[in-house]
Amino acid sequence: GERSPVRRFNLNNVTITPDPIANREAVLILTPMARFYQEYWDNLLKLDYPHDLISLGFILPKTREGNAATAALQAQVTKTQKGPLQNRFRSVVIERQDFDPPIISQDEGERHKMENQKVRRASMSRARNSLLFTTLGVDTSWVLWLDADIIETPPSLIQDLAAHDKPLIVPNCYQRYTDPETGKPAERPYDFNNWQDSPTAQEIAARMEPDEIILEGYREMATYRSLMAYMADQEDERDVEVPLDGVGGTALLVKADVHRDGAMFPPFSFYHLIETEGFAKMAKRLGWSATGLPNYKVYHYNE
């Protein structure tokens, strides 16, 4: 028969459960991308959550580097979406950032300088919000924020995190490197934005001007927060949970209802927090708390 011009969604059928594969729950993977790494794409392809339930969304800056990354990404998307059926994703959206003067490419050292952080993270917030609000669907159950430089995760990342049934959940983001002393492969913590709050950080915040923000991982601003980066313990099980007050966005699984409730990435000082850390605070104010998995590791590219 003729196709109805009205698309109907029965939202009562959209579930958000600890068994998302059995319940055919749609996942939206969102990635802000300044550089394209083949290792990121290869890892994405290896995720064994059914690809026909995964939508991908990307946002890239309009810089020279962003143009190159867009071309490389488009080539891989085309290849995958024309390839074997079981590898193909449900849909792919690629956006270009048309707000903010583009931030010229910064290497790891430069972008981590404290004075560069506020402008950079405000801009990142706008990129994340813009991507989120244009891609979140009525039938999206889960949103996985995954940075473009996360190059290694367990293939079962999505279902493993979802099994915890938490509104916001983050694995521990590490970085592999070669130990210069032993010449042997080693790993070190990378993402310091997953933390539990401290009285010292509260006092720092209380003395700040309204638009000032607290940054984590800087000697100049010792917060004495408890960082999940340092909570990994080989003796413990992989699924040990810790409560968190701040989260990073390198890999972060969110129940879509949290975003639908209005929690986003503040591009301004929100309780002296910004971007993903501000998001955790905003979610908490809406009644959704954050959880971390110190022993469940994902790996960041080493520049």
175's contact among Mn ion, ligand GDP, none, with CB below 5 to 8 A by partner kind, is none
Least Cβ distance, residue 190 to ligand GDP (angstroms): 7
Residue nearer to Mn ion on the CB measure, 25 or 191: 191
Token pair listed for 266:
């503040």
φ, ψ of residue 273 to 5 degrees: the values are -125, 155
Binding mask 144-173 for Mn ion (x = CB under 5 A): -----x------------------------
Residue nearer to ligand GDP on the CB measure, 160 or 277: 277
Residues of this chain, 23-42, that bind ligand GDP according to CB under 6 A: 32-35
User: Please, are residues 214 and 197 in contact by the beta-carbon 8 Å criterion?
Assistant: no
**DSSP 3-state helix, strand, coil percentages of the chain (rounded to 5)?**
35, 25, 45
216's contact among ligand GDP, Mn ion, none, with CB below 5 to 8 A by partner kind, is none
φ, ψ of residue 13 to 5 degrees: the values are -90, -10
CB atoms within 10 A of CB 232: 17
Cβ within 8 Å of residue 26, ≥6 positions away: 14, 53, 54, 55, 90, 137, 139, 140, 141, 142
Given CA atoms 101, 216, 213, 168 in this order, what sign does their dihedral have? positive
Binding mask 205-234 for ligand GDP (x = CB under 6 A): ------------------------------
User: Please, are residues 147 and 300 in contact by the beta-carbon 8 Å criterion?
Assistant: yes
267's contact among Mn ion, ligand GDP, none, with CB below 5 to 8 A by partner kind, is none
Distance CA 50, CA 69 (A): 26
- Residue 147 binds ligand GDP, judged by CB under 6 A: yes
35's contact among ligand GDP, Mn ion, none, with CB below 5 to 8 A by partner kind, is ligand GDP
Distance CA 297, CA 294 (A): 7
Residue nearer to Mn ion on the CB measure, 23 or 302: 302
Residue nearer to ligand GDP on the CB measure, 25 or 121: 121
Residues of this chain, 50-69, that bind ligand GDP according to CB under 6 A: 59-61
Interface with ligand GDP by CB under 6 A: which residues? Answer: 32-35, 59-61, 97, 103, 111, 123-124, 127, 147-149
